[in-house]
């Protein structure tokens, strides 16, 4: 579904690679957390999957396509198979909830009839059935993120990429968003989510890929936010004249 073979990404003017020889495979229907400190390469990884950036070295396959061989004419068609959600929602402020979702279908040429059916269905699925006429500023943060998710999934993408989707939300609202993403994943969509939210990662026990300085340092089946594999290092007590550690 998503395969990286020794992918390195160097940005112009930055001599440390954002991703450094990353090799991994993500299978259909998996729910994967991408974790790591700020600047470790998570967003770069997502941008490469979307072909918003190209690798400096290595190969990327997404949905059976070698992205290096995808012509720019074909990129918009390729992206129809991917939904994307961001921390800051990115809704169109002057458009209603319905129109925000409908717009993404209009731009890819879906018929009016299709839109009239698909939009209410997806708004119901994300729990916003009664709010289709509202403007974004008339919604809570959690509701705005639900609109963004509805927009991302209305065309039934095979892959949903989420870059810190709960970053602006409180814990209980975040939990609701995660329940929704789990439901989407349960329907067969591959979900890849970059996050700093340790509570969510620890609770969900899904696959966790950890990046440090652009390299994968951990890929665990049912991981937590922090590695479980390494033992906790205890500081040895300082030696005393008797050779025993100081007693307190
Ligand atoms: N367009 C760019 N041009 C130059 N350097 C970039 C660009 N985008 C990212 N970088 C650099 O690449 C590295 C990885 O950045 P990236 O945004 O992928 O990290 P991240 O893990 O998503 O961070 P955060 O958690 O803060 O979003 C950083 O050193 C960053 O400064």
Alpha carbon of 11 to ligand 1 centroid (Å): 9
Query: Looking at residues 212-230, what average pLDDT do you find?
Result: 86
Q: Is the CB of 17 under 6 A from ligand 1?
A: no
Other Cβ atoms within 10 Å of 245 Cβ, number: 11
Average pLDDT for residues 142-149, to the nearest whole number? Answer: 96
CB 198, CB 226: distance < 8 Å: yes
As given in the structure block, the two tokens for residue 191 are 């979900």
Q: Which residues contact 99 (CB under 8 A, 6 or more apart)?
A: 92
In short, whether 195's Cβ falls inside 6 Å of ligand 1 is no
Render pLDDT for 93-135 as a digit per residue (tens, 0 to 9): 999 999 999 999 999 999 999 999 999 999 999 999 999 999 9
Which residues, other chains included, contact 1 with Cβ-Cβ below 8 Å and sequence gap of 6+? 25, 26, 27, 28, 30, 62, 63, 158, 159, 190
Atom of ligand 1 nearest to the CA of 13: 4
Confidence of residue 235 (pLDDT cuts 50, 70, 90): low
| CA neighbor of 181 nearest in space, from 202, 208, 163 | 163
- The owner of tokens 């049912």 is 222
pLDDT tens for each residue of 16-57: 999 999 999 999 999 999 999 999 999 999 999 999 999 999
In sequence order, which residues have a C-beta less than 8 Å from that of residue 84 and are 6 or more positions away?
46, 50, 152, 160, 161, 162, 163
Q: What ipTM does the predicted assembly reach?
A: 0.96
The confidence band for 238, taking pLDDT boundaries of 50, 70 and 90, is low
Predicted TM-score (pTM) of the model is: 0.90
pLDDT value for 226: 86
* Domain residue extents for the chain: 91-156
């Amino acid at each position: 579904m998503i395969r990286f073979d020794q992918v390195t990404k160097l940005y112009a003017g930055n001599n440390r690679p954002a991703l450094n020889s990353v090799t991994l495979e993500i299978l259909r229907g998996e729910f994967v957390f991408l974790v790591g400190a700020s600047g470790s390469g998570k967003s770069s990884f997502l941008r490469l999957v979307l072909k918003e950036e190209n690798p400096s070295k290595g190969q990327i396959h997404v949905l059976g396509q070698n992205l290096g061989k995808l012509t720019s004419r074909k990129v918009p068609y390729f992206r129809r198979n991917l939904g994307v959600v961001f921390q800051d929602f990115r809704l169109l402020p002057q458009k209603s909830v319905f129109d925000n979702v409908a717009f993404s279908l209009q731009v890819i040429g879906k018929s009016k009839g299709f839109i009239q059916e698909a939009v209410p269905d997806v708004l119901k699925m994300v729990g916003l059935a009664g709010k289709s006429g509202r403007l974004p500023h008339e919604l809570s943060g959690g509701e705005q993120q639900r609109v963004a998710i509805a927009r991302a999934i209305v065309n039934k993408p095979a892959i949903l990429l989420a870059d810190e989707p709960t970053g602006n939300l409180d814990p209980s609202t975040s939990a609701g968003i995660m329940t929704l993403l789990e439901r989407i994943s349960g329907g067969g969509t591959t979900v890849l989510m970059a996050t700093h939210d340790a509570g969510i990662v620890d609770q969900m026990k899904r696959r966790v890929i950890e990046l440090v300085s652009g390299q994968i340092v951990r890929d665990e089946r049912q991981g937590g936010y922090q590695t479980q594999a390494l033992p906790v290092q205890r500081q040895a007590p300082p030696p005393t004249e008797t050779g025993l550690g100081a007693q307190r």
